[in-house]
Homo-oligomer: A and B are copies of this chain.
Amino acid sequence: MPEGFTLPRGMHDIYPEEMAERLWLYERILNVMRRYAFQLVEPTPIEALETLEAKSGPAIRDEIYHFKDKAGRNLGLRFDLTVGMTRMVASRSDLPEPFKICSISGMWRYDEPQFARYRYFHQWDAEIYGSEHPSADAEIIALSIDILDEVGLGNHEILISSRPLVEGYLESLGIDNKNTREEILRVIDKIRKAPRPELVERLRPLTSSQENLESITEFVMLKGNPDKILDELSSLKCRSESYIRGLETLSSLVEYLGWYGKLDRCILDMSIVRGIDYYDGIVFEAYDRGGEEVGAILGGGRYDCLGRIYGNRDLPATGVAGGIERMLISLRREKLIPEGVSQSPKVFVASVNDGVRGEVVALASKIREEIPCEIDLKNRSLRRQLEYAESIGVLYTVIVGPKELGEGRVKIRDMERRMEEEVPVSSMVDYLKGKIYI
């Protein structure tokens, strides 16, 4: 095969078996999002490059696909769904608020491909626009937990923090330079991937004193039951305005999470700060309780400033996203996708000879009104038809022969038990419906 005709590096085709798993998963995620009254949308995959750069600056170009169109416009492929959804909402002032939307779709990043990490991958994403109230963050976290439960990944816990609170704490230590604070947040964000001594070494040049260094490392170790951590955060008596507001918001969030009945699924963890630039409020990530170290299965938070960039008006926003491929890995590993998940038809209609091909088509059309079914499309002998039916894994084969047909009957073969029964044509569909769970 000429090299040019292969799949480009890092790209991904979805074949029927994998699509069956995805359809199973998408349906479950969409179900929960629907119950929470999120409405499905799809932003354009191609954005103006300026839109993609709006928050991160031109540095993002290294990580994305971008190009000029024939009119010289700078365009790029979306790297997440949040940016496009925010631009969609920010560009319209006629939408009700809050406006709750969701999406499941593909995106592209120019990463080095790794095991199950493609340059083309999919996320599910849910966002609430137009509410600055922590009840919206609680709604997002409750949704996230219900999605995990619905797909069978209830063994994950939600680790929650607040960017303004952590930043306020750093401020109160006298770290006045915003860039230094952001640098520190970036180091903290790596805490799950690097050993602690290494982090201390990386924090040292960013802090002015050993005391500060110890305060920070101690602070980001705060992790536990929400009420307990809220008490500890209060007892720090930190006077930074940002800290005080952050703590109030976090308390209100915890109150709401209690009302949602989700508090036992949530942990406050001051080391959660999220890497992505646009977050500026409550942030959270979900990890396997068993400590499986494959990264967060979902994450999100509040990003009140992004909407203002795109829409030139206040548009508070909070949301969550999760990787579909990442979720599929966990689901497969824990064997949580039901075995029967498949797109293969369960019924084949075979012709004993060429004289009954017309009847086979007519009978298959009748079955197809109720049950997916397959027929021979290669003009094969009965033996070859049965081999094919076996190879695609059908459960029942209707065998149409001239003799039985003359008596108004067909044979139906149970492919697994290798048993046949004669059934009147008039009750064929009901017989199959009784045997097959569609």
Residues of A bordering B, CB below 8 Å:
1-2, 4-9, 11-16, 19-20, 23, 34-37, 39-51, 54, 65-71, 73, 75, 84, 87-88, 90-91, 96-98, 100-101, 106, 108, 110, 120, 128, 130-131, 133, 135-136, 138-139, 142, 255-256, 258-261, 309-312, 343-345, 357-358, 361-362, 365, 368-369, 371-379, 388, 391-392
Contact = CB atoms under 8 A, between A and B. Distances in A.
A120 B344 contact: no
B73 A8 contact: yes
B369 A120 contact: no
27 contacts: A1-B91, A5-B51, A5-B87, A5-B90, A5-B309, A6-B48, A8-B44, A8-B46, A8-B73, A11-B47, A13-B41, A16-B101, A19-B39, A35-B369, A35-B371, A35-B372, A37-B345, A40-B343, A65-B67, A96-B388, A130-B378, A131-B377, A133-B378, A135-B376, A136-B377, A256-B361, A260-B362
B65 A41 contact: no
B8 A47 contact: yes
Contact of A46 (B11, B49, B88, B345): B11
A5 B98 contact: no
Contacts of A34: 343, 372
A371 B69 CA distance: 45
User: Could you say how many copies of this chain the assembly holds?
Assistant: 2
Nearest to A16: B39
Contacts of A110: 69-70
8 pairs of A and B residues whose beta carbons are closest in the complex: A4-B50, A67-B67, A16-B39, A37-B345, A259-B361, A39-B343, A11-B44, A259-B358
A15 to B, nearest CB: 6
Contact of A44 (B100, B120, B392): B120
Given A14-B42, A44-B8, A110-B69, A98 B377 contact: yes
A48 to B, nearest CB: 5
Given A45-B106, A46-B108, A261-B365, 16 more contacts: A1-B91, A1-B311, A5-B51, A5-B309, A5-B310, A7-B91, A9-B71, A13-B44, A13-B84, A20-B39, A35-B368, A130-B378, A133-B379, A136-B378, A138-B361, A139-B377
Contacts of A45: 45, 106, 120
Contacts of A120: 44-46
A1 B69 CA distance: 22
A128 B42 contact: no
A371 to B, nearest CB: 8
B40 A23 contact: yes
Nearest to A378: B131
A35 B429 CA distance: 13
A90 B379 CA distance: 22
Contact of A377 (B135, B261, B357, B372): B135
Contacts of A374: 37, 100
Contact of A372 (B36, B49, B388): B36
A81 to B, nearest CB: 11
Contacts of A375: 139
